[in-house]
């Protein structure tokens, strides 16, 4: 079955361009497009899409609030956010609101398609430019997190982009042990997924 997507962007040219690009990708079905966050939330309620692809800066209701409402009212729908280089604070806010993936607006169609598919599968994709925003735009004081030294090390390796298998190999432990550390640190830090873990590691100065 095709992935059902709602697109939201206040700029008509950008919105129409995204719709056109996504329609060229196999397995993607753009079922509606919104001009602001309020309309995006309404369309998600009407169409029950798999993913909402939403701009952060929009009138009436911005992408952060739209993300928060969609994740609260329609939890089956995942959210992938589009950002620009000046949106570092909004990226962090969208993470906290429950966004699953983050892309800059210069991402190509294939990258957007991969992010949408990953989000629908419950995975997070944060592209390199957005990671750079988090690194450069976020204060990084080291604070007492309550994490053990090994959990802190695992968090640092997650922020470096390592998979569970790679972390296990790096630490010379089993993959099951790595998963246990991840479960513990996610619970202590109230993290939902690896995207939030990456942002958390940047805030702590671990990455």
Quick one: what percent of the chain has pLDDT higher than 90?
A: 49
Which tens digits make up the pLDDT trace of 16-57?
999 999 999 999 999 999 999 999 999 999 999 999 999 988
**pLDDT higher than threshold 70 for residue 135:** no
Whether 173 shows a pLDDT value over 80: the answer reads: yes
pLDDT-derived band at 86 (thresholds 50, 70, 90) equals low
**CATH-assigned architecture of domain 149-204:** Orthogonal Bundle (1.10)
**What is the pTM assigned to this prediction?**
0.67
CATH 1.10.10.10 residue ranges for the chain? 149-204
The architecture of the domain spanning 3-137 is: 3-Layer(aba) Sandwich (3.40)
Tokens of 46: 């009407």
Closest among 74, 195, 171 to 123, alpha carbons compared: 195
Residue range(s) in the chain whose domain bears CATH number 3.40.50.2300: 3-137
């Amino acid at each position: 079955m095709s992935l059902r997507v709602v697109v939201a962007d206040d700029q008509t040219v950008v919105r129409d361009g995204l719709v056109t690009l996504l329609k060229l990708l196999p397995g993607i079905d753009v079922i509606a497009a919104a001009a602001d966050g309020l309309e995006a939330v309404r369309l998600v309620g009407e169409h029950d899409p798999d993913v909402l692809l939403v701009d952060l800066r929009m009138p009436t209701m911005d992408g952060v609030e739209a993300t928060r409402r969609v994740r609260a009212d329609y939890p089956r729908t995942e959210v992938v956010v589009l950002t620009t280089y000046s949106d570092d604070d909004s990226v962090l806010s969208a993470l906290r609101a429950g966004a699953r993936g983050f892309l800059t607006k210069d991402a190509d169609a294939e990258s957007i398609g991969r992010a949408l598919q990953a989000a629908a599968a419950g995975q997070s994709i944060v592209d390199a430019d957005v990671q750079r925003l988090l690194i450069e735009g976020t204060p990084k004081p080291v604070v007492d997190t309550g994490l053990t030294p090994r959990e802190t090390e695992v968090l640092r390796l997650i922020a470096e982009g390592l998979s569970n298998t790679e972390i296990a190999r790096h630490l010379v432990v089993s993959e099951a042990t790595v998963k246990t550390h991840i479960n513990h640190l996610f619970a202590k830090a109230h993290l939902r997924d690896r995207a939030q873990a990456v942002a958390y590691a940047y805030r702590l100065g671990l990455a």
